[in-house]
Structure 1
Amino acid sequence: MKNNEEIRKLFKLYLEGKADQQQEETLLRYLDSAKSDDSQFSDLIQEAWSKEASVREDSSEVDLEFGEILAKATIRQQRKSQRFQVLKYAASIALVFSAVLGWYSYQRNQVKPAEAIKMLSLTTLQGEKVKILLSDSTVVFLGGSSTLKWPSRFVKGHHRNIRLEGEGFFEVKRDILSPFVVHSGNIQTQVLGTSFNITAYPSDNIFSVAVRTGKVRVSESDKGVLKKLSLLTPGMKLDYYNKDQRYVVGTAKARDINSWTTNRFIFKDDNLFTMLSKLERYYKVRFELKSPCLAGRRQFNATFNQKSIKEVMEQVRMMSGDNIHYKITKDTLITVWGEDCK
């Protein structure tokens, strides 16, 4: 049996798609032996991840077909499932490597029917917050007027793909074999295990991704091609402008990123129109702005911690120097106007 360093070299060749048949057989024999330890390859896997091209073809069609096959199938022999555990991850993080084709072909010939994966969907009401536990133990806090779509179970060794419209805070269960990917419009957010917030309402021009813990890769998807935008670490935030497809990377206080999940709402340099739009989602209310000139007149920086909507509006009035007035009707309709605004 070859020594540990030689085995690592074989695994690296496999990841790069350069291993010949004899080298692959040697690697398979090692993985099938009692000496096999997946953790010894973790650094090679991370290196392959980091070297993945920033612009590549996003194999959505292959990904979909592959998912459908795995959704209907399972490995017939438990021993073979363990044997290929590491190689399955190599395929999941490196679809661009030629080694995937051989592995994919092998899997197609080794499966039998299994329970199909169902797609689940949940849409929240205005002012509603929901906590969702996914099958992999990932926790999602879904904000008001938002929609989350996810599979009833995830397939080990394959991407954990979900879709979000609206706002969600994610505490992703770490699984190096199965990267977690959130699809929101043209934006894809990919992680292994971390916590982060996404705001992606279809009606908004700006989509945002902010990281509280761990590391997140944000990419733009355009006609099946992924373009890497930025790698975010704790306290970093990316704003993506949908209309002109540009983005800006800034900072945010890590501890404030999921503050909305505990009814602590933070506004930073937001104009009145933007602030009222967010408040509509946080509270079950509707705003009627009678003085449009107020919308972008000034920027607001405020934190509302466990406040009722009446307390919030009273604070807005005071911050405006008593230039902004409001009237609450039946607790759901709030009329806003300005004294010096026609």
Structure 2
Amino acid sequence: MENNEEIRKLFKLYLEGKADPQQEETLLHYLDSVKNDDGQFSDLIQEAWGEEPSTREDSSRVDQEFEEIMAKADIRRQQKSQRFRVLQYAASIVLVCSVALGWYSYKGNQVEPLEVIEMFSRTTLQGEKLKIILSDSTVVYLGGSSTLKWPSRFVKGRHRNIRLEGEGFFEVKRDTFSPFVVHSGSIQTQVLGTSFNISAYPSDNIFSVAVRTGKVSVSEINKGVLKRLSLLTPGMKLDYYNKDQRYIVSTENTEDINSWTTNRFIFKDDNLATMMGKLERYYKVRFNLKSPSLANSRQFNATFNQKSIREVMEQIRMMSGGNIHYKITKDSLITIWGEGCK
């Protein structure tokens, strides 16, 4: 058969999968014996492509599955015969349109067993600090009276989700394809690789996120809807008020953001009640305020660097002008009162 038009008809039948064994043999013999331009049947190939469905599944999962098929089949890109070069050109359409999509359809209909990944959880005591290294080499410094929950390992290409209640400073290992996400109540903090501090105690009205290096995206989850609040850069801090769901963004010295990890405790415009709550977490103590009026009577600005709790209380007494008195008992109970009340 030497009529070129008949050969074209055979090639079209081959692309459509309608050629019988004898017709295939004739076509292959022609391709082996005749000097052909690899592109002489390109119009037929384009026509076959044009008849494919316009809607395709182009997700990364299809790409991954197709790569696995190609790897398992050990398909060679270099062919010695001209026949294989031409048929490989034509078969590329069949592979992409039918094999990959067919495999994805098959996989999509299978019930894949769920991969079980062990979850870890750690809760610290009052006055306790803990350093935790996650499977991706991310370092977490967990503050007192805090709980961290995380998976034993992270899956490449998926979000690295963990949960925090309390305070933690994070030094996240960068992974562009696997964002690191911290869930704290209704606040979600997402990064690729950076260092930042989160204070999110369930008993507190204010949750805060402060960035030391890199960029951090802070979002709010409300009734299943995720809404970005702000994109923070170094030296920025977001305070989220749980009760009325509002937030403010301010600036902070980057060196102060994780100061608590080195026993340097900083208070800025905090009242006595707020200070007592934080000191209970930093030190293993309890407070008994016998003069309720002192709780919000004034605000304090102070830095306690490597100080014992007794030194801290003495400095608070002096800052109050001698109006605040305290007593520390052996069971770490600190009683506080004002003038005229004991």
- Over 3 Å counting, the alpha-carbon distance change for 1:122 and 1:22 in structure 2 is closer
Question: How many residue pairs align between the two structures?
Answer: 259
In structure 2, runs of 5+ residues without a counterpart are 1-53, 74-101
Q: Note if contact 1:294-1:341 (Cα within 8 Å) is conserved in structure 2.
A: no
SS in 1 for 2:300: strand
Q: CA deviation at 1:228?
A: 0.6
Alpha-carbon contact 1:76-1:110 (below 8 Å) kept: no
Partner in structure 2 of residue 275 of structure 1: 275
CA distance in 2, matches of 1:116, 1:146: 26
Give, as a single letter, the amino acid of the residue that structure 2 aligns with 1:120.
Answer: F
1:116 deviates by: 2.2
Residue aligned with 1:176, SS: coil
Look up the equivalent residue of 1:220 and give its one-letter code: E
Which residue of structure 2 lines up, in the alignment, with residue 333 of structure 1? 333
1:173 maps to a residue whose letter is: K
- Cα shift readout 1:85-115 (whole Å, capped 9, x = no counterpart): xxxxxxxxxxxxxxxxx99978757997686
Shift of residue 120 of structure 1?
0.8
Contact 1:188 1:218 (C-alpha < 8 Å) held by counterparts? yes
- Unmatched runs of 5 consecutive residues or more in structure 1: 1-18, 33-74, 81-101
CA distance in 2, matches of 1:222, 1:202: 17
- After TM superposition, the structure 1 = structure 2 runs for residues 142-157 of structure 1, keeping only pairs within 5 Å, are 142-157=142-157
The match for 1:314 is: 314
Report the Cα offset of residue 223 of structure 1.
1.4
Match of 1:301 in 2: 301
Query: TM-score, normalised on structure 1?
Result: 0.69
SS of the residue aligned with 1:260?
Answer: helix
- Cα distance, 1:119–1:108 mapped onto 2, change above 3 Å: farther
Aligned equivalents of 2:198, 2:318: Cα separation in 1: 31
2:149–2:162 contact (8 Å) kept in structure 1: yes
**How far did residue 119 of structure 1 move?**
1.1
Partner Cα distance (1:244, 1:302) in 2: 29
**2:138 maps to amino acid:** T
The residue correspondences of 1:229-240 to structure 2 (distance < 5 A) are 229-240=229-240
Query: How far has the Cα of 1:323 moved from its partner?
Result: 0.7
Give the corresponding residue for 1:245.
245
Structure possessing the higher relative contact order (Cα contacts under 8 Å, 6 or more residues apart): 1
Summarize the Cα distance change of 1:24–1:258 in structure 2 as closer, same or farther, 3 Å threshold: closer
| CA pair 314-222 structure 1, distance change in 2 beyond 3 A | same
Which entry has the higher C-alpha Rg, 1 or 2?
2
Structure 2 length normalisation: TM-score? 0.69
What does residue range 95-134 of structure 1 map to in structure 2 within 5 Å? 116-134=116-134
Q: Check 1:111–1:179 CA distance in 2 against 1; reply closer, same or farther (3 A cut).
A: farther
- The answer to whether the 8 A contact 2:125-2:144 is kept is yes
Kindly provide the CA deviation profile for residues 53-99 of structure 1, in whole angstroms up to 9, marking residues without a partner as x: xxxxxxxxxxxxxxxxxxxxxx899889xxxxxxxxxxxxxxxxxxx
Cα distance in structure 1, aligned partners of 2:70 and 2:256: 48
- Cα deviation 1:193-228 (Å, max 9, x = unaligned): 000000000000000000000000000001110011
